[in-house]
Structures are given as structure tokens and as C-alpha cells.
Amino acid sequence: MFNSIAAYYSPVYLILVAIFSLRIVRKYKRIYGIRNYQYPSSGSRDFIIVALLTIVIGTRPISGKYFVDMAGYADHYIRYLGEKFIFDWNAENLLFDNLFAYWYGHDLGITLFFILISGIYYGCSYIGIRRILPNHTLPAYLVFLAAFSTFSYATNGIKAGAAAAIFIMAMGYLDKKPICFTLALISLGFHHSMQLPVAALVITSLVKNAKIYYVFWVFCLIISFAHITYLQNLFSGFTDERGAAYLLADEQTSTAHIGFRPDFIVYSAIPVLIGFYYEINRGFKSKIYSALIHLYTLTNAVWLLCMYAAFNNRIAYLSWLLYPIVLIYPYLNVENRSDKYLRFGKVMAYHLYFTLFMEFVYYGLFHFGN
């Protein structure tokens, strides 16, 4: 019964996101000649949306078929229920692991835990997007919700998803460095994989030359295409045991798909090409956009160097978490054309169509019986 209900979560979620997104797309397509349009804001409306997402996703049925990650946490909760909590300073993920241990140690309820993590995921990402794009918060948030990795990291990989959402919130405070770096470190405490975005945040805060990032991305693409894995192996020495296992795995030792991914490259390249066009060709200046696109380009370039690692999509997500924001930011805050909002509407629609194609056609999401 739980599996039959769980099967409908993703398609219903995407259909609802598509309906609301397309309504906004139509609205933006009707705006022509206005250069400084502000989408009507409503704190109560947005709160209801975030709250509904938190509750509906947080109370999803525990299904080992559709929500494998969730089932694993539920099993762990039952196994160690009531165990005395002692803060573990050696935990792999210092904050998340201790939070979870406290939760099952005091039997606070596994469903309530999933609601909390869901709230962190949808709430923190909303706060970050609201601060980055305050005049177009709801449309931008819908672009985030429509990204093809968003639902997955809300329901599977919830630890990495919560960490990513906190990091997105950190990006909303780029103008307040102490808050930004504090939140970035908190995200690292939720999941060890955030080492890469946090390190990239430090580098991009110090190195401002835009050309360096685009040249480095192309260099990494060539290295990846040439199947040179020396740097991938080198990175294994700078990460933890699990990360090293992913980086050093081969087709004989891993069940994951390993190899060159032209589909991922094309997808990843779009924000890089847009960034190059606006920053280098057009010479547009925006401190926030430059910081975001440089961070995205750098982390994505590192993924290119790790193309042949097991579960390389998880490494790619460390840049993709910023994908919706860097994709649409230039069309809303950099462009000054009379048709800027028409162009944004098209980008929003194409991004949605891509996700719908990937989920319903490429991955065959409607094959519920499989």
C-alpha cells in the first residue's frame, strides 16, 4: 500500500509545479517594454507554499522502493531507539549525525524528524532565493522546485539535500561574509560533501578574475574528454574514506554507472556559456552574479575532473545546487532589454520542459509498475 502511494509523489509534485510555473510563464510573456517589473510579493502566500511542501514531503510514506534513503533512516531509528545520546565529535557529519542520534535517543518520532529535514530543505532554499532575487522570489523558487534534482534530494539523499539548502541560504548572505561563512560551515556539518562548495566559496572570495574560471572549466573539460584520471585519484587523498571510495572505484568494484557523461556535460555547460556571454562578451558587472557563477563554474569544473568516479552525479550536484539561480539571474537582474521578462519566461519554460522530459520520458517515471 505504501509503495502504491509513494509511486505518485514525484509525478504529482512535478505536475503541480508545472501548472504553477506555466501560469507565471504566461504572465511574464505578456510583459513587454517594462524594464523594472517586480513580481507581486506575499509573505503569507510563500509561507503557505513552503509549509505545504514541508508537511507533504516530510510525511511521505516510508518506502524502500521509492524512498530508499528514507527507509534506511527509519530502520536505523528503530534499531537504536532509546540509545543514550552522547555527542560524537568524530561523527562523519558532525551536526546531522548528532542531531539524528539525539532524535532517536529521545524518541522524538521519525516522522517529525523527516518533517524537520524537509523544512530545512525547502525553508533554507527559499530564504536564500528570496535574498538573492527579492523582486522575483516566487518565480525563482518555482525554477528551483522544477530542477530535476530538487525532488530527489528532498526525498533521497536528504542529508546532502539539507546541507545544499543551507549552503543556498549562505549564498543569500554573500554581502554579509560572517553570516555567509557561518552558514557554509553549518552546511558542511550536515554533509561532508560540502567540502568542495565551501572550499570554492573561499577561493572565489579571493580570486575575482572571471576569465580564470571559464578557462579552467574548458581545461577540465578537455582533461575529462581525454579520460585522464590522475587528478581524480589525487583528490581521493584530500577527502574522507567514503569520498575516496567513490573516486577510486572502477567498473569491477562499483555497481554505479561509470564513464563519460555527455548528457551531464551539456546540461552543466548552459549556465557556464550564459555566464561567459554576460561577463566576458557583454562585460556586465554584478558582484552577486559573479560570485555565484564563479562558484558554480569552479565546482562544476572539479566534477569534470571526477567524471569517471562512481556516483559522479552526486559530485555534479555540488554545482547543480546553484543551477536554477545562475541560470535565471542574468535575465532578471543583468539584462536591460525591453523583452527581458519575455526571455526569462522562455528560459523558465525550457528548464521546466527539460525536467519533465527527463522524469517522464528519459527515466520513464510513469512506469509505476516497474
pLDDT tens digits, one per residue of 110-120: 999 999 999 99
pLDDT at 229: 58
337-341 CB contacts, 8 Å cutoff, 24+ apart: 337/35, 338/32, 338/33, 338/34, 338/35, 339/32, 340/35, 341/28, 341/29, 341/31, 341/32, 341/34, 341/37
Binning pLDDT at 50, 70 and 90, where does residue 258 land? Answer: low
Tell me which amino acid residue 96 is. F
C-alpha cell at 263: 548528457
Binning pLDDT at 50, 70 and 90, where does residue 247 land? Answer: very low
Spell out the residues 6+ positions from residue 24 whose beta carbon is closer than 8 angstroms to its own.
Answer: 39, 138, 139, 142, 345, 348
Tell me which amino acid residue 205 is. S
pLDDT tens digits, one per residue of 178-226: 999 999 999 999 999 999 999 999 999 999 999 999 999 999 999 888 8
Binning pLDDT at 50, 70 and 90, where does residue 334 land? Answer: confident
Tell me the whole-structure pTM to 2 decimals.
Answer: 0.90
pLDDT tens digits, one per residue of 31-46: 766 667 778 778 899 9
C-alpha cell at 264: 551531464
C-alpha cell at 342: 519575455
Smallest Cα–Cα separation from 223: which of 307, 298, 300? 307
Higher pLDDT among residues 146 and 230, named by residue: 146
What's the rounded Cα separation, in Å, for the pair 327 and 31?
Answer: 20
For 277-299, what is the mean pLDDT? 93
Cα atoms in the Cβ-side hemisphere of radius 13 Å centred on 241: 3
